Amino acid sequence: MTLEELRAALDARLVPEARRWLAESLAAVRRDPSQIRLRFPAAGRHLGRGAVVNHASSDEQVPRWTMDQAGRVLLLAELGDRVVDELDELYRYGDADEQRAIVAGLHLLPIGGRGLPLVVEALRSNDARLVAATVGPYGSARLPDHLFRHAVLKCVFVGVPLAAVHGLDRRADSELARMLAGYALERVAAGRDVPADVWAVVHRFDPWEELAAIKAEMKAPRAAPRAAARRALAALAAERRRS
């Protein structure tokens, strides 16, 4: 989604009072960039938090924009090149919704690679929505390989579907598959189910050592790991049939 598409989608959802507030706020930020510090936190109160886009577009699974989030990104974009002077403090002092808006909108701002430290900081969160924003277009394009793999694993840990990872097909590699298979092995050994979406990545590279260890759990002394191994292997087989 481009900035103009986001602007049009938000405008279609806003009530007249909210539309007026946004227009006044954008003008205020144009006149005086320091106004962003007042207008940015107030967006949720004035614009609401309903969905702007109810279904993610085909090329961008996250974020699923909300009205306050979209408005905040438009306010940031109004700063132009000066946005880099405000991002750190807005993120540091913002609440979870404000932080998510910043991270999710980085690819729409003229900042080059200067937003990457914020993505790395957001990866330390256990807020699933914020973690999901880190693997949007900006983070997925700019995170180094080892941090991208960490971000994917973090998504699995906090329950973010891997469909949310922008460009996963392009960036997945054998090491990520090995790490996901290792995570699956830990789950199976504990008698727990494995998130189904990990198998698409695992299957592409078939890390034999971890998969062999999962198969070995079929002979575990306890019933729970044996059952978990059967379910995991069945899910992997189903993925192979689909591909």
Question: Between 64 and 60, whose confidence is greater?
Answer: 64
- Give φ, ψ of 135 to 5 degrees: -105, 25
pLDDT digits (tens, 9 = 90+) for 106-154: 999 999 999 999 999 999 999 999 999 999 999 999 999 999 999 999 9
Is the predicted pLDDT of residue 59 greater than 60, yes or no? no
Largest Cα span, the chain: 71
Please state, for a pLDDT cut of 90, what percent of the chain lies above it.
Answer: 93
Indicate the average pLDDT of the chain: 94
DSSP three-state, residue 110: coil
pLDDT digits (tens, 9 = 90+) for 169-200: 999 999 999 999 999 999 999 999 999 999 99
CB atoms under 10 Å from CB of 150, counted, come to: 17
pLDDT number for residue 1: 80
Q: Which two tokens stand for residue 144?
A: 């180094």
For range 27-47, the mean pLDDT: 97
Question: What's the predicted TM-score (pTM) here?
Answer: 0.91
Is the predicted pLDDT of residue 63 greater than 70, yes or no? no
pLDDT number for residue 54: 52
For range 15-19, the mean pLDDT: 97
Instruction: Please give the C-alpha separations between residue 64 and each of 70, 93, 161, in angstroms, as whole numbers.
Output: 10, 23, 13
Classify residue 84 by its DSSP letter.
G
| Residue 57 pLDDT class (50, 70, 90 cuts) | very low
Q: Which two tokens stand for residue 192?
A: 């727990």
Q: Could you tell me which of 107, 109, 90 has the C-alpha nearest to residue 40?
A: 90
pLDDT number for residue 55: 47
Q: Which two tokens stand for residue 238?
A: 């189903």
Residue 103 is inside which H or E element, if any? Answer: helix 96-105
pLDDT digits (tens, 9 = 90+) for 72-94: 999 999 999 999 999 999 999 99
CB atoms under 10 Å from CB of 40, counted, come to: 24
**Boundaries of every domain in the chain:** 1-144, 172-243
Q: Could you tell me which of 117, 127, 105 has the C-alpha nearest to residue 147?
A: 117
